[in-house]
Structure 1
Amino acid sequence: MSYEEVEHGKARTDVEFSLADYRFRYVPGVVGESKRVVHQAVFTDGPSVWSLCRNKFDIVEVEEVGRCGMPCMQCAARAAAAATKPVLNAGPQVIEGSDVQ
């Protein structure tokens, strides 16, 4: 089951999902230190937790962390994109010293 299946309502109906709002990373020894980046959790289905970067992690392999550690760049990029929405078609813009609008 992928994140897209869950996001678009095509997920299994026998699994109960709940929202999760915490940061986590792999516990020491599961992966190398360079892979222990901090992910932003989106939701959990019990034995697994899904991150903002659309990856699924086993809950027993991760630990909750506060606001410390190297962030997952994909999670950070998705969080930034969700927080800032560009204003499109903001109206006419005048370039000073030009008749171009």
Structure 2
Amino acid sequence: MAGPKGRRPRAIPERTCVACRESAGKRTLIRIVRTPEGRVEVDESGKAKGRGAYLHANRSCWEKGLKGGSMGYALRTSLAPEDLEALTGFGLGLPAEGID
């Protein structure tokens, strides 16, 4: 529906969490990126070059995404042990449940 001056409201980009498969606003999820060099890392800016996948900012989705293999599948790569260790360390700093 058109706004007061005939403009449509801005669309909010949505992404899907690879662990729980729920859609949410892009800014509420954490992006993991496979860089062109092949490294897998957390993309805090959300703009890094490479193939991305998204997880909710809670420990349960983080653990499920890393253990189940859905993260590697979404990034089209296998997670190296050092990448997995770094991502697990980042996930430990997240709250146990999401903040709604």
Q: Which one has the largest radius of gyration? A: 1
TM over 0.5: no
Bin the TM-score by the shorter chain.
Answer: under 0.3
- TM-score scaled by length of structure 1: 0.25
